[in-house]
Amino acid sequence: MDADLLWSLLCPACQQRLQYGSADASLPMIHPTRPAEGAALDVLSLLAEGAPLPLILETIVLGIEQANRDVWCSILLLDEEGKRLRHGAAPSLPTFYNQAIDGIEIGLGIGACGEAAYTGQRVIVESVHEHPNWHGYTTLAEQAGLASCWSEPIISSTGQILGTFALYHPFPATPTAADIGLIQQAAKLAEIAIERFQALEALRISEERHRLLADHAQDVIWIMDLKGRFTYVSPSVERLRGYTVAEVMGQTFDERLAPASRALAQAHLNHALSEVAQGRPFPAQSAEYEQLCKDGSTVWVEVSTSGIYGSKGQFIGVLGVSRNISERKKQEAYLLALNRFHQAAGELALLTAQLRIDDVDSGLLGCLEILGRFLRATRAYIFSNDFTACTWSNTHEWCLPEVLPQQEELQGVPFEVFPGLIDIFLQGEPLVVPTLDNLPPAMQGSGREILASQGILSLIMHPMRVDGRLIGFVGFDDTEQERQFSETEQAFLRLAADNFAATLARHQQYLQEQAARRQLEAVNQQLQQALAQREHIQQRMQYLAQHDALTGLPNRTLFAESLQYELDAGQPCVLMFLDLDHFKPVNDTYGHAIGDVLLQQAAARMQVCLRLGDMVARIGGDEFVVLLPHTQQTELATQMAEQICQQLVQPFVIDDHTLRISCSIGIALSPEHGTTEIELSKQADAAMYHAKRSGRGRWQLYSPTLAATAMSVDY
């Protein structure tokens, strides 16, 4: 299968992820590259080739692992009873580990994969040694060298759990948004593989069951996939169209159907697939199409279609039966032609009235054919005139199959080639020429030579006028015989010319309106874009006014507003002043770029410790404040302060540098230690000073005795 086609099967988000990798520099452990794209193409290629499911799943796993360092992957499949996970693919994990978890029951609190398969929700275990789900598996994880596990459920298109896709690391790890996207795409790719494998297996069994019947049918029985490609055609197609089964299997829509039937068949297929895409049953249809035969002829068939569904109820293809109705169509055509002769004028008027304003060309050609056959002409045409260039141009032409078309050669023909013709038409008169000898004297020179070179023996032309203005003419030639045109025929042509002129005028007006509409839409679009850009700028300015540009945390202004809101409402709250210890040496030694990254990562660690509704803000270089609203519990405040201290004392690894800092935290409670922002800030600052003076890397709850000992400290 073509690589570009396979790549197009991936969603845009997965293409971007596989092609460019993550832009997040704060967690460099996951970085897909071009090999991941190749792996995805390998998987899709294996699907197309009908490869065994274990090989496909192992290819998915290896593709992710090869594109990312320090990552091991695992795919587990839910058994038929939906109670246990069975080994699917994990080539890089130790055999003893795979054997140990093969057959593990699913449920709440059972590892990452067991719970993910049970709940159908993603389970992120940043540290297997600390997460309660792994209490029974920590020894096994240590032996396998596993420290974190992110598990994504594999869910079918019908919402059924198929298994899990897991990503392991040899160290504790927290996924970024890009990492989440990667495991989602990997799980989706596994889901496609599993469902595709199941569907193909079911289809293979079904096809084998019915192939014997189909091979001996008189009608042509066929199966088409969701992209309009045949997957099976019965041998009777060779009797119908002259093509072998192999030739038909490789044909496109254009090669199967006559032009008039292509659009109809494609519209029917698109409608049916749209119904299926919206969750409705495939609509059974019966329609007539003209198909192309190998000898150049065509055959009419009546096609009946219905949907094919897999074992799980998913739509997988179209079943069709084509019956030869050519003889019936020939009889219908004969009766139609006979009736058309007697009702040509009515049909012309009706066809003109039904012309689609946005598709005038095909309608005019149909009218020319009606007129041409009624007048027993071999060629019918419409010319427009250009008074600026003084030329004629053939815009529409119909002719019998055996007659050579002339439209391409008759573009920009000067008025003087047919002297006097423009004057005749300006007077509103037709030109009737039973034989070339009847041409006006002025046209007996170059005009006659051109007509004779085209094999024209007789012709009739009638001007087309709109509001007294000449816009062209309609004409009919006879290349088989010299002939007279009856008064009835001339009257019929005059009526047709008036109808054509009105139609072309409406079409020209339509084109002008469309151009104006497109111009207006373009202006509206530009206006909408400008308004959207302005709104985006305003939102960005508002955001920057209340947030720290480096860390994205609330700034002093937003924090002060939030604290004052709590105090005005009389709600108890906790205020913490936090200062990073030993941060200045980092800036001095490694530079501000490293220092900025350290501040960003420190801010992220602090946010992990907060509850929903809590706030941490940056108010200075390495100074932060924390607000715990709706509480004055000393135990809660000190526990959270201790958690933040523990988070920040852990080493930071930035650009291969291992950096160590700590923090000093001062805690004040409202209303116990103050009821205003100034009071609380003063008490929290005094407590923080005491924490620094006591050795740093710790927290201190405010007490009245601390204020007396306040003094400057080199932070």
Across 310-359, the runs of DSSP E, i.e. the strands, are 315-324
Task: Give kind and range of the element (H or E) at residue 593.
Answer: helix 592-609
| 136/222 same-domain check | no
Q: Is residue 266 part of a domain?
A: yes
Query: Going by C-beta distance under 8 Å and a sequence separation of 6 or more, which residues neighbour residue 102?
Result: 85, 86, 87
Using CA atoms, how far apart are residues 397 and 383, in angstroms rounded to an integer? 9
Instruction: Report the DSSP pairing between strands 379-386 and 469-478.
Output: antiparallel
Q: In angstroms, rounded to a whole number, what is the distance separating the alpha carbons of residues 174 and 607?
A: 13
CA-CA-CA-CA dihedral for 611, 613, 619, 620, to nearest 10:
30
pTM: 0.33
Are residues 246 and 382 located together in one domain of the fold? no
CATH number at residue 633: 3.30.70.270
75: left (phi over 0), alpha (psi -120 to 50) or beta: beta
* 569 in the same domain as 699: yes
505 and 577 within one domain: no
Q: Is 550 within a domain?
A: no
Q: Could you say which of 330, 351, 385 is where a domain stops?
A: 330
Q: Range of 278's domain?
A: 216-330
In a domain, 518, yes or no: no
Please tell me whether residues 308 and 350 are part of one structural domain. no
Any domain includes 539: no
Task: State whether 238 and 366 are in the same domain.
Answer: no
What amino acid occupies position 210? H
- CA angle, residues 292, 295, 297, in degrees to nearest 5: 45
My answer on whether 102 and 165 are in the same domain is yes
Q: For the chain, which residues score pLDDT lower than 70?
A: 1-40, 205, 207-217, 333-345, 348-349, 351-355, 357, 707-715
Give per-residue pLDDT as tens, 278-335.
888 888 888 999 999 999 999 999 999 988 888 778 888 889 899 999 888 888 765 6
Question: Which pLDDT score, from 0 to 100, does residue 699 have?
Answer: 96
Do residue 185 and residue 308 come from a single domain?
Answer: no
Residue where a domain terminates, one of 200, 226, 257: 200
Per the domain annotation, does 389 fall within a domain? yes
713 lies in some domain: no
Q: What is the CATH number of the domain that holds 266?
A: 3.30.450.20
Domain count, the chain: 4
My answer on whether 325 and 375 are in the same domain is: no
Task: Specify the pLDDT at position 715.
Answer: 43
CA 87/CA 581 separation, integer angstroms: 49
Please check whether residue 427 lies inside any domain of the structure.
Answer: yes
- Mapped onto helix, strand or coil, the DSSP state of residue 576 is strand
Q: Do 325 and 347 lie in a common domain?
A: no
| Final residue belonging to a domain, choices 511, 532, 566 | 511
Mark whether 458 and 500 lie in a shared domain.
yes
Is residue 523 included in any domain, yes or no? no
| 315 shares its domain with 402 | no
CATH number for position 429? 3.30.450.40
